Amino acid sequence: MSIEIEAFVWGIVSAVSLPAGSILGMLWKPSHKTTSAFMAFGAGALLFALTIELFGKAIHHAHGNNTLIYIVIISAISGGICFDILNQILNSKGAFLRNLSSTKRYIIKLKFLKTRKLAQQLSHIKVLSSLPPEVIARLIPLVKQVSFNTGELIFEQGDGGDALYFILSGEVDIVVSSDGKGTKVSTLKDFETFGEIALITKQPRTATAIAKTDVQVYKILNMDFSNLVNSFPKLKEQLDQLASDRLEDLEKRVPDLESKAWYQTCVQELGKQKIHVTEQEIMHETKKVMASGGTAAIAIWLGILIDGIPESVVIGTLTTSAKGMSIAFIVGVFLANFPEAMSSTVGMIKNGMSKIKAFGLWTSITLLTGIGAYIGAYISAGDKGGEISHFIYGFEGLAAGAMLTMIAETMLPEAFEQGGTIVGMMTLLGFLAALTVKVFV
């Protein structure tokens, strides 16, 4: 058996836990705590394999040669940066759906960007920008997301004002009725607000709002606003004064310089608040992404692939090293792959992917892991003397940096998201299990 074929076999062995974990996820559907324990254990084993088998080996081989250490450090940083960039690009295309933690992080980022847009629009409304920005920042997280179909009435002229609306997507016609005739006065689009006077005055609606297209809006309820105001006596006095102003004065836009300072303070306050993600929001975002068809599926597949490429290349280089393949590294990769596939498969099927497609996805990644190991062995096989060159160490450092970044950004957050405090102990046990394999096998 050639060294490249041997590396291919080791790559398959390390990754066969992917389809195995996928099958178990389909049949068993483990609890969040169980999945978290598996994932943390695998992460601990992989952390041992990386620190001892790669970075530890580089330190041992250096023998005071700082140049080698610098190469490994720079390569590891480069690997981490490369993983980060690719991960962010793919997540923007839908790859965040491959696990729960990345899905929640994506939605949190999306919600924060939308609330910033909302704060920016509110900063131009005199009736709201006259209030302390930190107060409005406390109000923004209370918004409700509501949908209206094309032609649906949002509110009618003469209705009592119960909310302010902020358009996330779609268009809204504002119609004023006079002498039995309705006249369209404007069409509002993405990120515009309407109905803000209702938060201050007790006056009825002065116009009718109709969804021109399918519309998604944020809705700030008058009740939530009133509850917040009642907790600030001085603020209530200020609002009473505002309510006594002429309506046309309240509707004036605030000068840009004033609104910019108010907006920046509001965003700072928003950044201090914890953003919560509901199951409904996860399902909504998932359905929207999956509706894009093949693009999201390919992004998910590529996202999983970039998690696995670095480890497959390292398997190839280790196969050609003087000491031969490290069983501890193979065990670490195997244990890390198993819970990742198990957890992700449950989520993928829940989000509408067929079982056959999910299994095929993990099987293809297994095959590509073997091919990656073959390539890694082919690249490093030129070192016939058994002394691994600086290039090979740099190559391994690049892969190791990407793997460590992946563990920190995907595996451990995913484990903690589902299991909480159990993660610490299970990570330690995984680390010690890999140590045991290293010492006794």
Q: What is the mean pLDDT of the chain?
A: 81
Which string of DSSP letters, residue by residue, matches 301-332? HHHHHHHHHHHHHHHHHHHTSTT---HHHHHH
Backbone angles phi, psi at 102, to 5 degrees: -70, -30
pLDDT recorded at residue 383: 54
* β pairing state of 208-211 and 172-178: antiparallel
Give the pLDDT score at 384: 47
DSSP string, 95-151: GGGGSHHHHHHHHHHHHHHHHHHHHHHHTTBHHHHTS-HHHHHHHGGG-EEEEE-TT
Tell me: pLDDT of 224 over 90.
Answer: no
What is the arithmetic mean of pLDDT over 354-379?
Answer: 89
Nearest CA-CA partner of 228 in 165, 166, 145, 142: 142
pLDDT score recorded for residue 366 = 93
CATH among 2.60.120.260, 2.60.120.10, 3.40.50.300, 3.10.620.30 for 109-275: 2.60.120.10
Specify the higher pLDDT residue, 166 or 388. 166
CA–CA dist 17, 19 (Å, integer): 6
The percent of residues above 70 in pLDDT, for the chain, comes to 88
Predicted confidence (pLDDT) per residue in 256-274, tens digit: 666 788 888 888 888 888 7
User: What is the reported pLDDT for 290?
Assistant: 67
Answer yes or no: are the C-beta atoms of 62 and 69 closer than 8 Å.
yes
Helix/strand/coil (H/E/C) assignment for every residue in 252-290? CECCHHHHHHHHHHHHHHHHCCCCCCCHHHHHHHHHHHH
DSSP assignment letter at 204: B
Section 273-285 average pLDDT = 76
Picking from 132, 269, 120, 111, the residue whose alpha carbon sits closest to that of residue 193 is 120
Q: What 3-state class would DSSP assign to 360?
A: helix
Cβ-proximal residues to 131 (8 Å cutoff; 6+ apart), any chain: 235, 238, 239
Mean pLDDT of 402-430: 83
Using CA atoms, how far residue 128 sits from 135, 164, 370, 406, in Å, is 10, 11, 60, 43
d(CA 60, CA 213): 66
The tokens describing 366, both together, are: 């297994």
Name the phi and psi angles at 125, rounded to 5. -100, 115
How many Å apart are CA 343 and CA 43, to the nearest integer? 14
Return the structure tokens found at 432. 């010690």
Residue intervals in the chain for CATH 2.60.120.10 = 109-275
Structure tokens at 317: 């280089």
- pLDDT confidence of 385, banded at 50, 70, 90? very low
- For 163-195, the DSSP string reads EEEEEEES-EEEEEEETTEEEEEEEE-TT-EE-
